[in-house]
């Protein structure tokens, strides 16, 4: 009888410790917002590109937005999206050929809205070109050898027995709204690995996912800049693009080097007059 | 220490470097929407750092001379009143100008006034002043015809707003003419009072240099 009680206790203990290891989901998570799903919903055949010349009239008004993700909890929070868009905006707002960059909240975009929705939003925000950001983030969760110490209960709070591997891709595609033509695109990627205790895993992983998006955008900005520069060169020789001046122009008051020389002359005259008096 | 010039130059540097500089530029739509501060701030923000540094350097040089020749108070009033007048003239004379940034309009305002005063006070340098006017007029013609001088400090896609330079110079000239006429009247009244023994020779000379009191005060002195 005593032996049975001992064996029952051991079995119950093993059952509980095995249960500890299974409290954390090991399968990982995936967050996706696909530009194809947004622009070409239910497409059964290849999209027909509009032929003709794409006119670009600098300073171009640009809209920037994240494409809608796949349902509740399947993507970045809106506040984090706006922060990322602000960073992209700040990186490109100094170009003289970009008139203004409007941040378009994702709530203004309809999931699977297509170019019809894009056209509506472009008119609402008065933009000619829209940069759409799509993303794909995968998080792999694993346990390491230290997770065996979770059975101590205290270990679940202090031992980093769970680890994550988060891989993020953020892709920016720039479209001319009127002709629906893809002007250029650039990707940004990041990989973040880390570990956490079982109790703090959820919070640590969530912060790492946000950091993954931040790093991917950091990687995206210089690549987008490079693509923009090569696009500027490409349109010089591409007959399907034409750069036209808007009705009106931007003017700067600038006297240039001639003004500086003349100012020096005037200063010398004034100084000489003072000395002679 | 030219306080006005230093303040203007510092404002140019600070306002251009803030990220919201586009909210301060002189744009037709914004002015019509009631953002009237742009009538002043449009002259203090710039399109590029090279334009900023060049304009600020010229402003420091010419502003110092202008404050010395015109007096800080007159120069301050001239700049404060000249900025919005210049902006309105730009909106009126350049209907296709969507956005304007730059301190050169203000610089030309001060240059026009200073040049006029120097013309009056220093007859021997009139030839040199005529040469400066001719050089600036040539530049305005080159800018107006859209010829590329390759010396411009403006970024691509931005033209030189030559109207700001011309309007600034003309406004400065008009302001200086008013000042000189006012001073001449003051001097004639002061001479009249000096002949009656009410004013010293030193005071008369200071009035002749444009640092005197108003004609109304002199009239009061004569009356006494």
- Edge-first strand order for the sheet with B26-27 is B26-27, B97-101, A249-252, B158-160
Q: Which residues of A touch B128 (CB under 8 A)?
A: 265, 269
In a domain, B169, yes or no: yes
Q: Which 8-state DSSP code applies to residue A149?
A: G
The shortest C-alpha distance from B123 to chain A (Å) reads 11
Helix-strand-coil split of chain B, %, nearest 5: 75, 5, 20
What CATH number corresponds to the domain at position B110? 1.20.1540.10
What is the C-alpha separation between B46 and A232, in angstroms, rounded?
24
**Which residues 6+ apart lie within 8 Å of B45 measured at CB?**
B12, B15, B16, B21, B24, B25, B101
Query: Long-range CB contacts (< 8 A, 24+ apart) of A70-79?
Result: A70/A32, A70/A33, A70/A34, A70/A37, A70/A111, A74/A31, A74/A32, A75/A31, A75/A32, A75/A33, A75/A135, A76/A31, A76/A135, A76/A210, A76/A213, A78/A105, A78/A106, A78/A107
Domain of B34 in residue numbering reads as 3-175
Interface test with A, best of B5, B41, B55, B91 (most A CBs within 10 A): B55
pLDDT value, residue A49: 66
Structure tokens at B106: 């203000």
Nearest to A270 among B22, B69, B90 (CB): B69
Q: Which residues of B touch A246 (CB under 8 A)?
A: 98
In a domain, B212, yes or no: no
CB contact under 8 A, B98 and A259: no
What is the C-alpha separation between B76 and B83, in angstroms, rounded?
11
Nearest to A260 among B58, B128, B136 (CB): B58
Cβ-contact A67, A35 below 8 angstroms: yes
In a domain, B19, yes or no: yes
Other Cβ atoms closer than 10 A to A206 = 12
Per-residue confidence in pLDDT tens, chain A, 277 aa? 667 777 777 666 555 555 444 455 556 788 888 888 888 887 777 666 667 788 887 778 899 999 987 655 567 788 888 888 988 888 877 777 787 888 999 889 888 888 889 999 999 998 989 999 999 988 888 887 777 777 777 777 877 788 889 999 999 999 998 888 888 999 999 999 888 887 778 888 888 888 999 999 999 999 988 988 888 888 888 888 887 766 667 777 777 788 888 888 888 888 877 776 6
Residues 72-101 of B with CB under 8 A from A: 90, 94, 96-101
What is the C-alpha separation between B162 and B49, in angstroms, rounded?
20
pLDDT value, residue B214: 45
**Cα dihedral: A208, A214, A219, A220 (round 10):** 130
In a domain, B66, yes or no: yes
pLDDT value, residue A100: 81
Domain count, chain B: 1
The shortest C-alpha distance from B139 to chain A (Å) reads 8
Cβ-contact A156, A198 below 8 angstroms: yes
Interface of A with B (CB under 8 A): 58-59, 90, 93, 96-97, 100, 246-260, 262-267, 269-270, 273-274
CB contact under 8 A, A250 and B132: no
The shortest C-alpha distance from A261 to chain B (Å) reads 9
pLDDT value, residue B220: 41
Give chain B's residues under pLDDT 50: 212-224
What is the C-alpha separation between B186 and B191, in angstroms, rounded?
9
In a domain, B148, yes or no: yes
Nearest to B165 among A100, A255, A266 (CB): A255
Interface test with B, best of A252, A260, A262 (most B CBs within 10 A): A252
What is the C-alpha separation between B97 and B143, in angstroms, rounded?
14
Sign (positive or negative) of CA dihedral A255, A261, A262, A264: positive
Over the stretch B163-219, which tens digit does the pLDDT of each residue have? 899 999 999 999 999 888 888 887 788 777 777 665 565 565 555 555 544 444 444
The shortest C-alpha distance from B187 to chain A (Å) reads 19
In a domain, B108, yes or no: yes
pLDDT value, residue B148: 58
Cβ-contact A96, A252 below 8 angstroms: no
Nearest to B158 among A250, A256, A274 (CB): A250
Pairing relationship of beta strands A129-143 and A60-66 according to DSSP bridges: parallel
Q: Which residues of A touch B90 (CB under 8 A)?
A: 251
What is the C-alpha separation between B146 and B148, in angstroms, rounded?
6
In a domain, B208, yes or no: no
Interface test with A, best of B23, B51, B61 (most A CBs within 10 A): B61
**Exposure of A175 by Cβ count < 10 A (0-12 exposed, 13-18 middle, 19+ buried)?**
buried
Minimum Cα–Cα distance from A269: chain B residue: B125
The shortest C-alpha distance from A250 to chain B (Å) reads 5
Interface ipTM: 0.72
Q: Which residues of B touch A251 (CB under 8 A)?
A: 90, 94, 97, 99-100, 158-161, 163-164
In a domain, B134, yes or no: yes
pLDDT value, residue B215: 44
Cβ-based contacts under 8 A for chains A and B: 147
Q: Which residues of B touch A254 (CB under 8 A)?
A: 51, 54-55, 102, 104, 152-154, 160
Q: Which residues of B touch A259 (CB under 8 A)?
A: 54, 58, 104, 107, 136, 139
């Amino acid at each position: 009888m005593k032996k049975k009680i001992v064996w029952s206790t051991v079995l119950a203990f093993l059952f509980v410790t095995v249960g500890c290891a299974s409290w954390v989901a090991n399968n990982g998570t995936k967050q996706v917002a696909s530009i194809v799903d947004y622009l070409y919903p239910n497409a059964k055949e290849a999209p027909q590109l509009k032929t003709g010349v794409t006119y670009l009239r600098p300073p171009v008004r640009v809209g920037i937005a994240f494409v809608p993700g796949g349902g509740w909890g399947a993507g970045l929070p809106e506040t984090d999206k706006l922060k990322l868009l602000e960073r992209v905006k700040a990186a490109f707002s100094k170009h003289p050929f970009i008139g203004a960059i409007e941040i378009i909240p994702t709530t203004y975009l309809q999931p699977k809205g297509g170019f019809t929705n894009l056209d509506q939003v472009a008119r609402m925000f008065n933009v000619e070109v829209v940069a759409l950001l799509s993303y794909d983030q995968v998080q792999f969760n694993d346990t390491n050898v230290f997770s065996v110490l979770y059975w101590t209960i205290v270990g679940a709070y202090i031992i980093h027995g769970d680890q994550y591997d988060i891989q993020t891709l953020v892709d920016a595609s720039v479209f001319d709204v009127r002709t629906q033509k893809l002007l250029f695109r650039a990707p940004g990627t990041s990989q973040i690995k880390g570990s956490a205790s079982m109790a703090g895993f959820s919070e640590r992983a969530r912060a790492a996912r946000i950091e993954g998006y931040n790093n991917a955008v950091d990687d995206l900005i210089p690549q987008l800049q490079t693509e923009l520069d090569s696009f500027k060169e490409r349109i010089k020789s591409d007959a399907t693009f034409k750069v036209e001046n808007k009705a009106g122009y931007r003017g700067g008051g600038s006297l240039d080097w001639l003004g500086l020389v003349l100012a020096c002359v005037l200063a010398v005259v004034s100084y000489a007059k003072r000395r002679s008096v | 220490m030219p306080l006005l010039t230093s303040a203007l130059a510092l404002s140019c540097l600070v306002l251009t470097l803030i990220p919201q500089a586009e909210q301060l530029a002189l744009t037709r739509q914004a002015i019509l929407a009631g953002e009237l501060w742009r009538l002043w701030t449009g002259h203090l923000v710039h399109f590029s750092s090279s334009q900023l540094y060049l304009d600020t350097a010229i402003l420091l040089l010419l502003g110092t001379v202008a404050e010395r020749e015109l007096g800080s108070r007159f120069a301050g009033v001239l700049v404060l009143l000249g900025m919005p007048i210049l902006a309105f003239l730009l909106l009126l004379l350049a209907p296709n100008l969507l956005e304007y940034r730059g301190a050169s309009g203000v610089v030309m305002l001060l240059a026009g006034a200073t040049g006029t005063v120097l013309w009056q006070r220093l007859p021997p340098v009139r030839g040199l002043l005529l040469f400066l006017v001719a050089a600036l007029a040539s530049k305005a013609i080159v800018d107006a015809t859209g010829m590329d001088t390759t010396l411009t400090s403006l970024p691509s896609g931005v033209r030189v707003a030559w109207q700001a330079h011309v309007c600034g110079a003309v406004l400065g000239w008009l302001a200086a003419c008013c000042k000189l006429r006012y001073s001449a009247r003051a001097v004639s009244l002061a001479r009249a009072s000096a002949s009656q023994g009410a004013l010293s020779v030193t005071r008369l000379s200071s009035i002749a240099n444009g640092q005197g009191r108003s004609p109304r005060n002199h009239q009061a002195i004569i009356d006494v």
